[in-house]
Structures are given as C-alpha cells and as structure tokens.
Amino acid sequence: MGDFNVVRRPEERFNSSFCRRTSRDFNEFIREVGLIDPKMGGFQFTCYREEDLKLSKLDRFLYCPDFLDISPTATVIALPRELSDHCPILLSSSIPDFGPPPFRLFNSWLLRDGFEKAFITCWNKFRGYGTPDQYLLAKLKFVKQGIKRWRGGDHPKEELELRKHEEVMEKLDLWPRHAH
C-alpha cells in the first residue's frame, strides 16, 4: 500500500500528463507478480495539487490473491484529505452490521387483498417526533406492526389457498396417464 507515483489508466489523471510507458510498466509489474488492485470506494483521485488543479490516483492497496482467503470481505476506500495533498486510504475487512432490517416485505404481499390499505393506513396514522432518522425508524416500526397485524389475518387465508392448490396438484399427479 502506498503512493506509487504512477497511474494505471489515463482516467486516473485529470489536468496532468499521462505517461503510457510508466503505466504499462506498472501494469506489467502488477500482472507478473500476481497482485490484485481492488476497486476503491470514496474519492476517485487520491492526490490533489491545488496550485494547478492536478488530480491523480497515485495511492492504492495491492494484495496477493491469498489475502482474499484470509479476508474475503476486504474493501478499500479513499477518505477525505485534510492535512496533506494525499487522501488517506483505508483497507477494511469488517462486515458492517446495521442491525436487523426494519421489516421484511415479500413482493407477493403487494398482490394480496388488504395489504395496500393496511400499509397506507399505518403510514398515515403514525405520529412521532425526533431527528429525521429517528422519526423514520419509528415510523417504519409502526408500519411493521400494522403489516404484522394484517398478516396475522391474511396468513390463514393464504395457507388455505395453498392447501387447495396442493390438493389440485396432487389430484393431477394421480390422474391416469394415457399412452399416445
């Protein structure tokens, strides 16, 4: 990892010259050694020369394929620069955990009788307060509870329909087959 003072492609430079020869040599080195240059999130360019507005992606992590066996979730991100003309880059191998999803929703529910009404009623009925993210979280929890109530009444109907379909399928499977 570090500042390699060379870019791999022309689009990794802005307002500065691209040297095909050094880029080719750098790319050959990466290929011959068998390194991986992972996609980087965050900022597109990692080096900023403000006096003449030159931007380049000089900083990067390169790793061997075996590293993915140890850390398959590794990600690279260029962070905002503050004190230097280079962005710090971060290699992270943690899996972000944002907790349980606010609620699970199946597309098939959208076609069920009463779903739309249950959703709209709960959405409009909610009254809350707090910061926008707290308000939205509370509203989604409220809607989740309403959908659970609707689901409690709809689920037995759905189970009955499913049993009827299974019975029909069973009868069709037992239907005598005629050789043609």
**What is the pLDDT at residue 9?**
95
Q: Determine phi and psi for 131, rounding to 5 degrees.
A: -65, 160
Beta strand 89-92 with 59-60: parallel, antiparallel or unpaired? unpaired
- Give the integer Cα–Cα distance in Å for 167 and 173: 10
How many whole angstroms separate alpha carbon 155 and alpha carbon 113?
11
Question: Are both 9 and 72 inside the same structural domain?
Answer: yes
Is residue 6 domain-shared with residue 88, that is, in the same domain?
yes
Residues 18 and 78 placed together within one structural domain of the fold: yes
Beta strands 59-60 and 2-3 are antiparallel
Q: Are residues 111 and 154 in the same domain?
A: yes
In a domain, 131, yes or no: yes
Kindly calculate the radius of gyration of the chain based on its CA atoms and give it in whole angstroms.
28
Overall pTM > 0.95: no
- Residue 34 shares a structural domain with residue 78: yes
* Same domain, residue pair 16 and 85: yes
User: What is the mean pLDDT, run by run of 10 residues, along the chain of 180 residues?
Assistant: 93 92 96 93 88 89 89 88 88 76 78 90 92 88 90 81 82 62
Give the single-character DSSP code of 14.
Answer: E
The CATH number that applies at residue 40 is 3.60.10.10
Structurally, the chain folds into a number of domains equal to 2
- On the 0-12 / 13-18 / 19+ scale of CB atoms within 10 A, 89 is buried
Question: Does residue 92 come out as left (phi exceeding 0), alpha (psi in the -120 to 50 range) or beta?
Answer: beta
pLDDT confidence of residue 156:
80
Tokens found for residue 175: 């239907």
Predicted pLDDT of residue 103: 67
- Boundary residue ending a domain (35, 59, 92): 92
Residue 121 counted as domain residue: yes
Residue 72, SS3?
coil
- Range(s) of the domain holding residue 130: 107-174
Q: Does any domain span residue 87?
A: yes
Output the pLDDT for position 106.
83
Q: Using CA atoms, how far apart are residues 177 and 180, in angstroms rounded to an integer?
A: 9
- Do 24 and 13 touch, CB atoms closer than 8 A? no
Residue 97 belongs to some domain of the structure? no
Q: Helix axis angle, 132-174 relative to 115-125, nearest 10°?
A: 170
Q: What is the DSSP letter of 36?
A: B
